[in-house]
Amino acid sequence: MDLQWHDGDSEARFSAYVEALSPCLRHADRVAPFRSYCTGLLLPGKRKSVEPMAARLRPDRTSAEHQSLLHFVGQSPWHHEALLAAVRASVLPVITADHQIEAWIVDDTGMPKKGKHSVGVARQYCGQLGKQDNCQVAVSLSVATSQSSLPVAWQLYLPQSWCGDGAAEVARRRAAKVPDDIVFRTKPEIAFGQITSALAAGIAPGVILADAAYGNSSAFRDGLTAAGLTFMVGVQGTLTAWPPGLAPVVASLPGPGRPSRHLRRGGDGAPAAQVAALAEALPAEAWREVAWRQGAAEELSSRFAALRVRPAQGDLRGEHRDDHRSEPRAEQWLLIEWPLEDGEGMKFWFSTLPAETSIKRLVYVAKLRWLIERDYQELKQEVGLGDYEGRSWRGFHHHGALCIAAYGFLIAEKAALPPSAPETAWLVKTPELPHDYRPRGGADPNRTSCAPLNRNTTRQDCPGAGEKPAPMSMLQQDHKTSIQWVTPFMTQQD
């Protein structure tokens, strides 16, 4: 069925975009369902699972379209990594034409689920709900400029409850068609693998941004430093650091014996302190009011302080025995946000940005992570990232990659428009329904000629919201005569 586009240029660009991505599908027969699936994700509608999209795309042959899309997303053997690489190659040159890459943003998102058979589902923290619940969680890496960002990697986090060697866990993975080479990895490990792959692909690096779920891992931070990457990552206030001017040293023990290789307290012998305690000890003049961007109603600003410290995680004997170090870490920035003077709302970041970086620049980089929050909101609300109803590993990743492909076209369209261009409410209009269209489960419009035998007639004695019932006669009808509506002298209304 023909679709109504906002303008002919948009349709031509979408066709060129689909054509540029199609070779990664590795078969000509997959191009048509690929185009249909992406179009379905762009169409208006509350849910973007397969069946509702098929009904919107082809209301005249919904069943056939449903089967075609279902096979394409759930069973067709194309690789979602190849599609993401093709999207990146098409979209990144557009969004970086006027703005350079500033950051790589690591994050994860949760998709609530009711059952227990969908791949990776478990009771875990779901950011969408703000609490622990039954959900799937996927880790992503996005490349960001100051204006927009594009996800370039997407992988499901498989909880430990799915990765055991017991017969039940093996059967569960087999039912969800999880590949044999997939083993348990923490979210920071998945994210670091995505970063390594992005470096190998030749993407221009930016500052690595992540929240405390990743920044709390010293192995993650040390891995980024070893890879030559700069980071700005959130941390909890309980993490420890050596205060400014102090550094751990390797103790020299008198007498014979093997020399010590573990770090000990240095400087004046003061112990490492929690970063929250360091923040509370700062004088009033250390804090500055810093604004970072214009919000919807007003300029966004808060109180910040920044100081140079050495993260101490793993440096002390008895802490993280597997992470003992023989030399101290280099000094890093500890950025602190403290909007309220009563101690509530404190936030902390470790950063390896250069020592001469201004506090305004530190704040700007730390707050650039808001782009990924916007991405997830639009991916879920506009193109149905969380609406997939399949259960398999392949289907989950295929749907995610297709949503990113559709989203990539949207942000490329937005980036290509001049700032003065008007925003349109729709890119593709939902097709008009034929006059004889009947949705699945709807009443049969071909009613019988004899009303008493018509089982599909909808009862009208329960009015809908806002409807007023018809007046009801309080007079008793004479059943010996033909039934006629009479003008009542008394009526009863709700």
Residue 253 structure tokens:
């023990």
**What number of other Cβ atoms are within 10 A of residue 438's Cβ?**
14
- CA–CA dist 59, 288 (Å, integer): 59
Mean pLDDT per block of 10 residues along the chain (494 residues) reads 58 91 95 95 89 90 94 96 97 93 96 91 91 94 94 96 93 95 96 97 96 95 96 95 76 54 48 89 92 84 93 57 63 91 79 96 95 91 92 97 96 70 53 56 54 51 49 44 38 41
Closest listed residue to residue 440, CA positions, set 25, 34, 65, 93: 65
Distance of CA 74 to the CA centre of its chain: 21
Residue 345: the pLDDT is: 79
| One-letter amino acid of 10 | S
- CA–CA dist 336, 177 (Å, integer): 45
- Helix, strand, coil: what percent of the chain each, to 5? 35, 20, 50
Beta bridge partner(s), residue 208: 104, 231
Q: Where are the alpha helices (DSSP H) in 2-131?
A: 8-21, 31-42, 50-57, 62-74, 80-95
The model's pLDDT over 204-257, given as tens digits with 9 standing for 90+, comes to: 999 999 999 999 999 999 999 999 999 999 999 999 998 887 777 655 555 555
- CA–CA dist 88, 91 (Å, integer): 5
**What number of other Cβ atoms are within 10 A of residue 113's Cβ?**
19
Q: Where are the alpha helices (DSSP H) in 304-392?
A: 359-367, 370-381
pTM for this entry: 0.81
- CA–CA dist 21, 412 (Å, integer): 14
Buried/exposed code over 348-364 (b: 16+ C-beta within 10 A; e: otherwise): bbbbbbeeebeeeebbb
| Rg of the chain, C-alpha, whole Å | 30
| 416 Cβ neighbours under 8 A, 6+ residues apart | 94
Q: Is 247 exposed, middle or buried (0-12, 13-18, 19+ CB in 10 A)?
A: middle
- CA–CA dist 148, 84 (Å, integer): 17
Percent of the chain scoring above 70 in pLDDT = 74
Residue whose entry in the numeric block shows the structure tokens 């609406």: 387
The model's pLDDT over 304-362, given as tens digits with 9 standing for 90+, comes to: 999 999 998 754 444 444 345 667 788 999 999 998 755 567 999 999 999 999 999 99
Give the residue extent of every domain in the chain.
212-244+265-368
- CA–CA dist 98, 88 (Å, integer): 17
| 287 Cβ neighbours under 8 A, 6+ residues apart | 303, 304, 305, 338
Residue 320: the pLDDT is: 42
